[in-house]
Amino acid sequence: MLEVALYAVSFVFLGYASWRDLKTREVSNKVWLFYAPVILLFAVVDLWVFRPYWIMAYVVSAGVVCVVSLGLWSLRVWGGADAKAMLCVGMGFVVALLALANCLILRLGMELGNRRRREIPMLPLILLGLLFTVPFAV
């Protein structure tokens, strides 16, 4: 049940951030200041109370996702809001590594089909990448 709430909160925050990214190409830091503590609280309660046997998988997944998302940001593959969104997803989900892989595969597919060389916003792809992990987590 807590996992469903975790996904619901994430879809609300990431949905709003994706909408702002598509509309203005900027997302306020306030979004991440509210989203990060909420998602971290849900994740800690979920892991501590319901699934303590997943703590090591969570730590490894969160660590890899954080390193990769900050690395992609420093290489200018994606922007600051995209990195912050992926850091929040990494803090909140055991399956964050799968979400990261999904959004990078979506990005690669869009880059290959992007003949006009338009800029591709990543936040909607992060939202879709997380959406594709629902069957594996719930």
Q: pLDDT by residue (tens digit) across 25-45?
A: 899 999 999 999 999 999 899
pLDDT exceeds cutoff 80 at 117: no
Give per-residue burial for 32-52: e unless 16+ CB within 10 Å, then b.
beebbebbeebbeebbeeeee
Q: In the predicted model, is pLDDT for residue 116 greater than 80? A: no
**Residue ranges per domain, the chain?**
2-137
Looking at the predicted structure, is the pLDDT value of residue 67 above 90?
yes
Full-model pTM: 0.88
Mean pLDDT of 55-68: 92
Is pLDDT at 138 greater than 60 in this prediction?
no
Q: What percent of the chain has pLDDT over 90?
A: 46
* Arithmetic mean of pLDDT over the chain: 88
Cα angle: 106, vertex 57, 6; to 5 degrees? 65
Distance CA 13, CA 31 (A): 7
Per 3-state DSSP, the chain is made up of helix, strand and coil in percentages (nearest 5) of 80, 0, 20
Greater confidence (28 vs 136) lies with 28
